[in-house]
Structure 1
Amino acid sequence: MSFRAKLVASVLALAVSAVAVGGAQAQSIAQALTTAYDHAPDLQAALLNAKASAENIALAEAGKRPTIGASLSGNYNWSIINSNFNDSTSLTTGLSYNQTIFDNYKTEAQIEAARAGADLAEYQIRNTEQTVLLAVVQAYMAVYSGRQLVALRQENSSFYSAQLQSSRDRLEVGEGTRIDVAQAEARLAQGDAAYRAALSNLEISQATFQRYVGAAPQNLEPGHNFARLIPHSLPTAIAEAEVGHPAILMSKAAIRAAQATSDGAKAEFGPKATINGSVGSKTTGPSSAPTDGLSGTLGFQISVPIYAGGAIGASVRKANIEQIKSEVDAMSAYDQIRESVISAWAGIQSADAQIVAANSAVKAGRTVVDGVIQERDLGTRTTLDVLNAQAELTTARETLINASSNKVIATFSLLAAMGHLTAADLGLNVQIKSAVRYTQAVDDVWAELRSVTE
């Protein structure tokens, strides 16, 4: 099959696909975001990580709770001496109790660090949510603009094909030259190559879309009303980002965790007091005449570290350094968020300007192409002039497609930079993924004891 036949077949397949998609219900950005929110593995992984982090709270709180255990053991002994059979039994039951009653507030510091870590993981869900939803928008617009580019370049190839045929006809009647034909053939080859590249890029974009959304793209409709969430001024956008962006909240939680870790390391220098006790009963004696006994112990211990080979001092210095680092990371996060907001805001302004310019260029380009074709037919212009005019029109139309796509992406990028590209802010019809309730549940450290007694 020749390349021309393959190209026609591809165009027919694309047309059939467009008819089928056109008959289906339009798939809006909001619908794609809703589907992706429920599908995204990265978001589910962030939720599981937050739940795992919540368990650290229960583990830390266990340090100031008692440990209670029960034991049961038994023995049966027998012997035969001088034909005499002797046997005895023993059965021991007991309860043990151990608790740290003071550790220089080390456990309290560990609990605070665990709570800060759980908060950080919860904010990470929101941050991952924004990353996923922005990637969905980018994939959505890549497919939408990709389909427009495929249609435009197919139309462009058809135009060049018509010009090639016109050049050949003009050559046959003596009104054209072989140069005109060669130029038209070269431009058609370039147009076909551009069309094939657009088809390949569209296939990649559709695969990316399906990766994030979990379903193939349908009849896409990029219209949305989420621009209402954008404030009227750049300073307001920056202020909102600095207050509520998940990355900012994560950095604040990281500072809390580092401060608590530092406090816990310093607490190693203080005293530690523990109490322990046990009570048990023991039944011993020959199986025919057992005797019972009950015993118990109660004790306490106070210890103060004097020297630990330098480990305690090193842990304190390390914790202090990590605390400073968390504060530096927070400043970096603030700077990055401001940069993202300004960049997205500028992207919207730039896209608006490009759309206005491209619309003007497309309108003028259509007029120029029609005029140059008429002048070529009158003999005052060449085929090359027609081909160049069409190339300029195609470039303007592609610029308009890309600028329109960039406007949508920049709008959602600004929402993400402000911290508002979340299912809750967008009003998506989904169950919000959060580990808050799970954290509240695992905070009940007595549940383990109740499960044993019930």
Structure 2
Amino acid sequence: MKQIVLKKLNSNLTNDSFGNAPLVRSSSAQVSPFRLNAWAVVIALLSMQGMSAMQVMAQVKQAQSATVSAMPTATPNSSPNTSVQTYTLPRLVDAANPQAKDLIQLFQEAAQFDPTYNAAKYAYTAGRETYWQAFSVLLPQITGSYSTQSTDIRYDPNLNNVANRKDYVFSNSGWTLSLSQPLFNWAIFEKYKQGDLLTGVAEANFAQAQQDLIVRVSQAYFDALTAQDTLDLYLNKKGLINEQLEQAKRNFAVGTATIVDTNEAQSRYDLVIAQEIAAQSDLLVKKSALEQIVGQPIMAILPLSKQAKVETLRQERVVKYLADSKGKLATNDIIEALHLATGNTIEDWVKQTEDVNYNVIVSRLNTEIAKSNYRSAQATRLPVVSLQASTGYNNSLGNATSSAPNTYYANQIGLQVSVPIFTGGLISSNARQTAALYDQSLSTLDFVKKSNAVASKQAYLGFTNGIAQIKAYEAAEKSALTSLQSNRTGYNVGVRINIDVLNAQDQLITTQSSLYKARYDAIMNGLKLKSLAAILTDEDVLAVNKLLH
């Protein structure tokens, strides 16, 4: 980022051999006792009294002694300040660092290690199984069983009436194969439709997670750039104020300025120290947030190029629409075959967001699921018809009354019809509940569409107006720099006061901070707009990555 080159820097601001700024110490300035302007007093005394030079100097010394003894020592601060030490962190944004990573590298790492994205990926894998689970209830249900049993009956000889009884040992075994095929069951047919819809929900959620990953990585990346820029600006501001403070001290020492100039510069210097500490903390927080997403420690990242043209990210809108009622997006081949006009007005973006945004698709699918649940609840009043069939084999080697073996096969087939007659009001209650949930899903769908419409308008205006803001801030930066130079020149020749120079410094730093943030915000609004319209891809990440060093 653009830095103001100072002609004279205090030794505390000099970088060490490793490129890191050393410990910066800020202490209250020690100002010598107030001294009268000797030459002004000489001229005044000579004009009022015709004294000799020796007499004049004697009067000056007496006046100085009397003033010092009558007044307390004047210092820039009424109370002594303790020394404030700030430790400058190693630079996070450093194009010269060989370990510096760009946006593409961080995005690839996040795709592997980001827990939010991984959770969405596993949820998608699990969600795909709902279709097969729902489809399975339409297929025949076949079960098999096998059993074997051995019986040993022995009578107690001590009991009465056992003379004609014999001990028996017999066994039996068999197997059974059963089949159940639903012929008419509207409730499970609705469950099958829900399985298809739930799979669509899983796919849409995962597609949104992919787009969210691009937005989250980019946002964390540019938040880190903003934090580093803010810290750099405060360090630069501290150097400017320190130079102005030293000049105010020198002017006060020779009597060409009052103590007010020194106090003003000292107060601004103390304030920028506090701002620097806050900026260091914010940089650490933003770095940690980026590391949490990518799952890896980050040594350095690349800055945005000074010559980056954010307007190059402007691309025509890619038209997308739903291919069917299940929420699936049409392929590019279908879209191109229709020769739809690609508009880029704010209404075009809002319309596409309301139609094919992945969150809107999820809400639309949830509405269809709620409607299916209502139909399923109503269907429980209908009869259920199913085909039942079974085959089995039994081998019995005797029983309690006969020792003759008994072996046979058994085959059965039948039609089963069941009709609910009285369920205690359960069916009616379920119908009322699912009807209310369907109404709730409609309201949720309307809310999601309106929310995304507002978000797309904000992103569209943020991007288009952001381009204009960048140009305006670039012109304002040049004007603020010229104003600072003019005020410093005016201060040196006596036509400007110290506060004018300090205000010009603040204006320059504020303008530069706004310029850097406007660039990052414009890029992010462009990415968010495409994400809302469900057209954000890896190509957009590559386009942004080209703007980095």
> Do they fold alike, i.e. is TM over 0.5?
yes
Q: What does residue range 26-425 of structure 1 map to in structure 2 within 5 Å? A: 27-81=101-155, 86-103=168-185, 105-215=186-296, 216=298, 218-222=300-304, 226-228=313-315, 230=317, 232-285=344-397, 290-423=405-538
Q: Do the aligned residues in 1 keep the contact of 2:208 with 2:359 (CA within 8 Å)?
A: yes
CA distance in 2, matches of 1:41, 1:226: 29
Could you say which residue in structure 1 is the equivalent of 2:97?
23
Aligned partner letter, 1:316: A
CA 1:130/1:153 → structure 2, altered by over 3 Å: closer, same or farther? Answer: same
Native 8 Å contact 2:146 2:176 kept in 1: yes
2:96 matches 1:14: no
1: CA distance, partners of 2:213 / 2:376 = 36
- Check whether the contact 2:460–2:529 (CA below 8 A) recurs between aligned residues: yes
Shift of the 357–8 alpha-carbon distance from structure 1 to 2, 3 Å rule, reads farther
User: Structure 1 pair 18/426, CA: closer, same or farther in 2 (3 Å)?
Assistant: closer
Whether contact under 8 Å (1:26, 1:221) holds in the other structure is no
Q: Deviations over 1:276-331 (max 9, x none)?
A: 23322222226997542222333332122233222112222222232233233222
316-325 or 378-387: bigger deviation: 316-325
Q: Which secondary structure does the structure 2 equivalent of 1:65 belong to?
A: coil
> 1:279 and 1:352 mapped to 2: Cα distance?
78
Relative distance call for 1:405 and 1:389 in structure 2 (3 A) is: same
- Does the C-alpha gap of structure 1 residues 42 and 423 become closer, same or farther in structure 2, counting only changes over 3 Å? farther
Shift of 1:374: 1.5
> 1 CA distance for matches of 2:389 and 2:196?
31
Q: Once the 2 structures are TM-superposed, how far is the Cα of residue 427 of structure 1 from its aligned partner?
A: 7.4
- TM-aligned CA distance change 1:424 to 1:270, over 3 Å: farther
Partner secondary structure for residue 488 of structure 2: helix
Instruction: For 1:280 and 1:407, locate their aligned partners in 2 and report how far apart those are by CA, in whole Å.
Output: 74
CA distance in 2, matches of 1:423, 1:401: 24
The answer to whether the 8 A contact 1:160-1:188 is kept is yes
Normalized against structure 1, the TM-score is what? 0.85
The 8 Å contact of residues 345 and 414 in structure 1, kept in 2 or not, is answered as: yes
Structure 2 counterpart SS, 1:71: strand
Q: Which moved more, 1:230-239 or 1:373-382?
A: 230-239
> Do the aligned partners of residues 18 and 128 (structure 1) sit closer, same or farther apart at CA in structure 2, a change above 3 Å counting?
closer
- For the 8 Å contact 1:134–1:421, the answer to whether it is kept is no
Flag the 1:2–1:253 CA change in 2: closer, same or farther, 3 A: closer
Q: CA deviation at 1:344?
A: 0.7
* CA deviation map 1:357-383 (0-9, x unaligned): 322221111111111111211122222
Give distance in 1, aligned partners of 2:198 and 2:168: 63
Using the TM superposition, give the Cα deviation of residue 205 of structure 1 relative to its aligned residue in structure 2, in angstroms: 0.7
Give the match's secondary structure for 2:385. Answer: strand
Q: Is the Cα contact below 8 Å between 1:145 and 1:401 reproduced in 2?
A: yes
- On the 8 A contact 1:209/1:217 being kept in 2, the answer is no
User: Taking every aligned residue pair, what percent have the same amino acid on both sides?
Assistant: 21
CA distance in 2, matches of 1:55, 1:249: 20
Tell me if the contact between 2:100 and 2:299 (Cα under 8 Å) persists in the aligned partners. Answer: no
How far does residue 116 in structure 1 lie from its aligned partner after superposition?
A: 0.7
8 Å CA contact 1:36, 1:133 repeated in 2: no
Q: Separation in 2 of the partners of 1:322 and 1:50?
A: 24
* Aligned residue-pair number: 424
Deviations 1:405-433 (A, max 9, x none): 211121112112222234487579xxxxx
Q: Secondary structure at the match of 2:344?
A: coil
Paired residue secondary structure (2:302) = strand
Structure 2: how far apart are the matches of 1:227 and 1:7?
A: 47
Give the aligned partner of residue 448 of structure 1: none
Contact 1:70 1:95 in 2 (8 A): yes
Secondary structure, counterpart of 1:96 in structure 2: strand
Structure 1 unmatched runs, 5+: 429-454
Q: Retained in 1: the 8 A contact 2:135–2:195? A: no
Structure 2 stretches lacking a partner, 5+ long: 1-22, 28-82, 158-162, 318-342, 544-549
Deviates more, 1:117-126 or 1:272-281: 272-281
Q: 1:2 offset after TM fit, Å? A: 8.1
Q: Distance in 2 between matches of 1:422 and 1:342?
A: 20
TM-score by length of 2: 0.71
Query: Which of 1 and 2 has greater Rg?
Result: 2
Q: In structure 1, give the amino acid aligned to 2:121.
A: L
| Stretch deviating more after TM superposition (209-218 or 178-187) | 209-218
* Separation (CA, whole Å) in 1 of partners of 2:526 and 2:84: 36
Question: Matched residue of 1:269: which SS?
Answer: coil
Matched with 1:431 is: none
Tell me, yes or no, if the aligned pair for 1:226 and 1:426 is still in contact at 8 Å: no
Residue by residue over 1:16-52, the C-alpha shift from the partner in whole angstroms, topping out at 9 and shown as x without a partner, is x666x52326533343333323332222222322333
- What is the root-mean-square deviation of aligned Cα atoms in Å? 2.8
- Give 1:140 shift: 0.8
